[in-house]
Amino acid sequence: MHRAVIFAGIVAAVAAVAGYIVYQQINRPPFALEVDAIKDTTDIGIQYRIRMTNVGTQQLTGIIVELGANDIQEKSFLNPGQSYYFYPDPETQVSKVRVKTNEGIMIESDYRSPTKVLGLPGAGR
């Protein structure tokens, strides 16, 4: 009897997790883009990088990224679940990132600085 209760609890937990995952996949929008603009200050200088991830269920096309004045980069497509990094040119004056796609997505994002923990690589001195 005791084992049956434990087994039923495990089955219920697995079913709940599986149901949540299926629910998340069903409710994903067809066109969605996640932009993460990072300004990383290290011992050797500042590095800027922009990670884009297609979090929708359909391919995004005609991606145009404005990284700063006179620094516009393009990517022809991004498949669902695919990520891609953009890096501004060294002479670019960065302030905000603007992204547009053929599907009508328009995102403007500020750069964020990741948290630094002493003792880890890149944390500075």
For each successive 10 residues of the chain (125 residues), what is the average pLDDT? 88 93 84 93 86 94 91 94 93 90 94 77 56
Q: 59 and 23 in one domain? A: no
Assess contact for 41 and 122: CB atoms under 8 A.
no
Q: 12 and 59 in one domain? A: no
Specify the pLDDT at position 43. 78
Distance CA 36, CA 50 (A): 6
Indicate whether 20 belongs to any domain.
yes
Q: 93 and 38 in one domain? A: yes
Q: 92 and 39 in one domain? A: yes
CATH number where 45 lies: 2.60.40.2890
- Residue whose C-alpha is closest to residue 36's, from 15, 54, 21, 51: 51
Q: How many CA atoms lie within 13 A of 96 on its CB side?
A: 6
Indicate whether 119 belongs to any domain.
no
Specify the pLDDT at position 100. 96
pTM assigned to the model: 0.73
Domain count, the chain: 2
Specify the pLDDT at position 124. 53
Q: 91 and 62 in one domain? A: yes
Distance CA 116, CA 113 (A): 9
Find the largest Cα–Cα distance for the chain: 72
Specify the pLDDT at position 51. 96
- Residue located via tokens 């069903």: 26
Residue 24 belongs to domain spanning: 1-29
Specify the pLDDT at position 26. 80
Indicate whether 83 belongs to any domain.
yes
Collapse the DSSP code of 45 into the 3-class scheme (helix H, G, I; strand E, B; otherwise coil) and give the result.
Answer: strand
Specify the pLDDT at position 45. 83
Q: 54 and 88 in one domain? A: yes
Q: 42 and 5 in one domain? A: no
Specify the pLDDT at position 119. 65
Q: 77 and 47 in one domain? A: yes
